[in-house]
Amino acid sequence: MFENRQLTPRLEELRTQIRAYAVDFGLDFFEVIYELVDYDEMNMIASYGGFPTRYPHWRFGMQFEELQKSYSYGLSKIYELVINNDPCYAYLMRSNPEVDQKLVMSHVYGHSDFFKNNYWFSKTNRKMVDEMANHAVRVRRHIDKYGLDEVEQFIDVCLSLENLVDPHAPYFGEHKTSSEESREEQRLAATGTKFRTKPYMEEFVNPPQVLAAEKEVRLKELDREERFPAKPQRDVLTFLINHAPLRHWQRDVLEIIRDEAYYFAPQGMTKIMNEGWASFWHSKIMTTKALDSTEIIDYADHHSGTMGTRPGVLNPYKVGIELFRDIEERWNTGRFGPEYDACDDYSKRQSWDLKLGLGREKIFEVRKIYNDITFIDEYLTPEFCNQSQLFTYKFDRHAGNYVIDSREFKSIKEKLLDSLSNMGRPVINVDDGNFKNRGDLHMTHQYQGVPLKLDYARATLENIHKIWSRGVHLETEVDGKRKLLSYNGSRHEEKVLG
């Protein structure tokens, strides 16, 4: 079992070379530790989300079976597996030919650079490998104490709520609680914001009616804060951890699930960019430096396999790499800014070249501060949509299949941003922890045109009830009507809201 996972001397040599190329290109990465594994070890590690030390749970077994099956029937195999950690861990398949190993190594340096520098990864735990092992120890301890069935069932309940987190929460400071001062004091202290000024200007800089209006708003806010939670809270998991009547070990498990959800969240938020960036660099490193002329066909084959598109499916690798190349090209030639935008002469636009050479610098900046949503919002251009043959599709009820809806830039961009927002999941807020003044939990689905899958929603409500232990309610829209779905522990109710 504990076969040697160290790189062979030859692979070690290649690693040193490719690492040097990556450094030359300006990539700034966490050191990468490569391990050489067989396909079933690879599948195993992948089924644990990259962490072989994770807590025991049947779903990892399920993922493993799926990977094993698709590998043995020749459907798919895992090329790369890289863990966001300092140092980065990456796995190479022992049976891969040398050219594949080079490709994967180059690709992985791209990922590692992205993990280290992209803002949205900045709050993730860089010692996650250790942390996951700690989680496993904690879960195993609970299992020893309370039994596998009990703990596993609770984990299943938690997983059902796993996506009820606020991916942006880590980037804002801690919420200040107002409990330090008494509410009455705050009430007395509430005034409008006064700007410093000379006495004779006072009336103009701080007009009394504005101050009065502002005071009014403050007081209202204070009243609202007496509600619980004070503001609708999107991080439902944290709310439950803080306020649900859980036993100590249950709270611990829920915290583990939340921590892991937050650790994985940035990977969902930057799928296109992350894969695009890594692909951009493997392509650059391989074609300009690392590739041997005998390997060119194999490389091209595998590269195009990764970039392949199927109708109706957006390949993040493909869109990502093309967008980065497009940005580099645009900033090299100066095809941006008001002057270029204002130019409506087609031929002039086509041959536009200010020879700025800012492309490389620009893409490094882009990889630092954007996530998929802001990336698409900022850099998706009509020309790009056209060249990449993007389209939107919809479900045709009559034909019973998906049909191409539109090739218009505006709707493509809208739809794409839609599908990326909240990683394609519905946004659900907790807005009252004392609903009907009897300790029920009230949540609202921020309806944006797409209804929830109702049977799943009901089952999820049941799971939330298991945690909250009092009635749970979800306000959402069904068939154009606002509805309140409720579950009180024994039966489901549905009420149309006025």
Partner 1 sequence: MVRRVDPDSRRFRDIVRGKIRENLKHYISRGELIARQGKNSVSVPLPQIDIPNFRFGKPEQGGVGQGPGEEGQPIGGEEAEAGPEAGDQPGEHVLEVDVSLEELAEILGEELELPNIEPKGTDSVHTMKERYTGIDSQGPESLRHFKRTFKAALKRQIQTGVYDPKNPIIIPMRDDRRYRSWKTQSIPQSNAVIIYMMDVSGSMGNEQKEIVRIESFWLDTWLKSQYENIETRYIIHDAAAKVVDAHTFFNVRESGGTKISSAYKLAKEVIEKEFPPSEWNIYPFHFSDGDNWGGDDTTLCMDILNEQLMPWSNVFCYGQVKSAYGSGQFIKDLREAFPDDDRMILSEINSRDEILNSLKTFLGKGR
Which of 13, 20, 26, 61 binds partner 1 (CB under 8 A)? It is 61
CA separation (Å) from 34 to 95, 100, 112, 129, 287? 15, 14, 12, 15, 22
Q: How far is the CB of 60 from partner 1 (least distance, A)?
A: 5
How many amino acids of this chain bind partner 1 (CB under 8 A)?
Answer: 97
Distance CA 15, CA 38 (A): 19
Site residues for partner 1, window 452-481 (CB under 8 A)? 452-457, 459-460, 463
Burial 168-189 (b: 16+ CB within 10 A, else e): ebeeeeeeeeeeeeeeeebeee
Residue 402 as a binder of partner 1 (CB under 8 A): the answer is yes
Q: Which two tokens stand for residue 170?
A: 């880590």
Largest CA distance in the chain: 84
435 binds partner 1 (CB under 8 A): no
Residues 152-211 interacting with partner 1 (rule: CB under 8 A): 152-153, 156, 159-164
Nearer of residues 203 and 395 to partner 1, judged by Cβ:
395
Give the integer Cα–Cα distance in Å for 405 and 411. 9
Cβ proximity to partner 1, 133 vs 222, nearer residue: 133
Nearest approach in angstroms of CB 198 to partner 1 is 56
DSSP state string for 273-330: HHHHHHHHHHHHHIIIII--GGGHHHHHHHHHHHH---TT---HHHHHHHHHHHHHHH
| Closer to partner 1 by Cβ: residue 249 or 384 | 384
56, 87, 170, 334: residue in contact with partner 1 (rule CB under 8 A)? 56
The nearer residue to partner 1, 78 or 356, going by C-beta atoms, is 78
Q: How far apart are the first and last CA of the chain?
A: 64
Which helix (H) or strand (E) segment is 403 a member of? strand 401-406
Minimum CB separation of residue 490 from partner 1 in Å reads 16
The amino acid at residue 413 is K
8 Å CB contact between 321 and 280: yes
270: contact with partner 1 by CB under 8 A? no
The yes or no reply on residue 19 touching partner 1 (CB under 8 A) is no
The yes or no reply on residue 110 touching partner 1 (CB under 8 A) is no
Question: What is the 8-class DSSP label of residue 434?
Answer: E
Our finding on whether 309 is near partner 1 (CB under 8 A) is yes
- Using the minimum distance from each CB to partner 1, give the nearer residue, 4 or 437: 4
Residue of 25, 36, 52, 256 that binds partner 1 (CB under 8 A): 52
Q: Does 378 bind partner 1 (CB under 8 A)?
A: no
Residues 6+ away with beta carbon under 8 Å from 40: 68
Shortest Cβ 484–partner 1 spacing (Å): 15
491 contributes a contact to partner 1 by CB under 8 A: no
**Residue number, 38 or 185, with CB nearest to partner 1:** 38
**376 touches 316 (CB < 8 A):** no
Going by the DSSP 8-state scheme, the letter that residue 233 receives in this structure is B
Please, which residue, 189 or 313, has the CB nearer to partner 1?
313
Backbone CA torsion sign across 251, 253, 256, 260: negative
- Provide, rounded to whole angstroms, the least separation between the CB of residue 67 and partner 1: 7
Shortest distance (Å) from residue 250 CB to partner 1? 17
Q: Beta strand pairing status for 440-445 and 472-478?
A: parallel
Bin 391: left if φ > 0, else alpha if -120 < ψ < 50, else beta: beta
490 binds partner 1 (CB under 8 A): no
Q: Which is nearer to partner 1, 168 or 458 (CB)?
A: 458
Nearer to partner 1 by C-beta: 161 or 336?
161
CA separation for the pair 126, 30 (Å, rounded): 10
Taking CB under 8 A as the criterion, which residues in 76-105 touch partner 1? Answer: 76-81
Q: With binding defined as CB under 8 A, does residue 232 bind partner 1?
A: no
> Restricting to residues 134-153, which ones interact with partner 1 according to CB under 8 A?
149, 152-153
Site map for partner 1, 247-266, x if CB under 8 A? -----------------x--
List the interface residues with partner 1, window 437-456 (CB under 8 A). 445, 450-456
Amino acid symbol at 393: Y
Distance from the Cα of residue 254 to its chain's centroid: 20
Beta carbons of 298 and 286 less than 8 angstroms apart:
no
Contact 14, 105 (CB under 8 A): yes
Among residues 319, 363, 373, 472, the one that binds partner 1 under rule CB under 8 A: 319
Binders of partner 1 among residues 403 to 432 (CB under 8 A) are: 403-407, 412, 415-416, 419, 424-426, 428
Determine the Cα–Cα distance for residues 429 and 419; give it in Å rounded to an integer: 19
The piece of 6-14, 75-83, 139-147, 292-300 that touches partner 1 (CB under 8 A) is 75-83
